[in-house]
Amino acid sequence: MTDTPTTCLSFTEVCLQTGVAEETIIEIIEQGIVEPMGTSPVEWRFSPAMVLMTRKAVRLHQDLDVDWPGIALAIELLERLDQLRQENRHLKRRLSRFIGG
């Protein structure tokens, strides 16, 4: 029995699910946009979140004609922006307890 969750997809399944060539998925991995579990394409396992991130990266590449390093940076910045927004909401809630509003 394997310890890999059944919700994870193999490298081939990700290529089929996203309609993206193997070389493109490898480029996305090499740029650090997604980091599958495993050490080689045969062993790679992708979570549903990684599949969504792969689709997002491909859309950015196709729609905006951004190169892969630029996409990696854009996704990193978008994730950081989301973290800051969440932190800001949390701090506003805490502050409202002190100022009564």
- Domains contained in the chain, CATH given: 9-99 (1.10.1660.10)
Q: Which residues of 9-48 are buried (b: 16+ CB within 10 A; e: fewer)?
A: bbbeebbeebebeeebbebbbebebbebeeeeeeebbbbe
Average pLDDT score over residue span 28-33: 96
Residue 82 clears pLDDT 90, i.e. is over it: yes
Residue 7's pLDDT band (cuts 50, 70, 90): confident
| pLDDT (0 to 100) of residue 1 | 45
- pLDDT, greater one: 7 or 14: 14
Average pLDDT score over residue span 16-26: 95
